[in-house]
Structure 1
């Protein structure tokens, strides 16, 4: 993934992607998805929507109150040091 196609990510965004990759995150879904890390809501309530809109997280299904958070192929590529170097 080139820097021209990669979304602008903060250090917090990358840390959350790493936590998702480690299986530590779920979505709480009421009106908007909220990312839970180790069961605790992320203080940045907009991060889930931003990372979903950027194509980095798989959107939770409709009707799921608690859903596992997962990375898309693009999200995995952001964390892949080989992909970042190219």
Structure 2
């Protein structure tokens, strides 16, 4: 995801960021974290991976394979959500 794409978040990406901001999201442990919202797997894991790579989302703590930890917005993620 490029800087331009971060500034132009899709509706789905904004919804994902809002769910994380509301404390409704978790990441699973693994090589690339998968996002769960309200206990269910997110329908667009490639968007999740893009948001993580762009530095907008991160796990709140290290997680082992199969474990889940709270997802959190980075400062960049909060800024992106405010300007989206």
| Equivalent-residue separation in structure 1 for 2:68 and 2:45 (angstroms) | 15
Matching of residues 2-81 of structure 1 within 5 Å: 7=6, 8-59=8-59, 61-63=62-64, 65-80=67-82
Structure having the higher helix fraction is: 2
What's the TM-score once normalised by structure 1's chain length?
Answer: 0.77
Aligned alpha-carbon RMSD (Å): 2.2
Segments of structure 2 that go 5 or more residues without pairing to the other structure are none
Q: How many residues align?
A: 79
After the TM superposition, which parts of structure 1 deviate over 4 Å for at least 4 consecutive aligned residues?
Answer: none
Segments of structure 1 that go 5 or more residues without pairing to the other structure are none
